[in-house]
Amino acid sequence: MSRRVVLELPESAFSAPRSDPEELGRELRLAAAVKWYEMGRLSQAKAAELAGLSRHDFIQALIEYRVSPIQETAEELAEGLAREQ
């Protein structure tokens, strides 16, 4: 199930190179997904779903946006590794 969200944007938002409303919509979904993932509001899987991408493609987008695909801090990673041993 999905829901539709309608945004009203000024005409200037559709200036080149984003003249296609469909493409702008995809870019906005991706930008929101990346930012909310970066803020810790969405898991990687949920953010990928919001962006309409596979998880692999979302990770590639994170790299392009210069956002780390790893949400844990170095300390959290070390604690997790210590628990596994």
pLDDT of residue 79: 85
For residue 66, the model assigns a pLDDT of: 96
Q: Is 67 exposed, middle or buried (0-12, 13-18, 19+ CB in 10 A)?
A: middle
pLDDT at site 38: 95
CB atoms within 10 A of CB 69: 13
Domains in the chain: boundaries: 20-84
Cis peptide upstream of residue 10 (ω within 30 degrees of 0): no
Give 49: exposed, middle or buried? Use CB within 10 Å, 0-12, 13-18, 19+.
middle
**pLDDT tens track for 19-65:** 688 888 899 999 999 999 999 999 999 999 999 999 999 999 999 99
Residue pair 58/47 in contact (Cβ under 8 Å)? The answer is yes
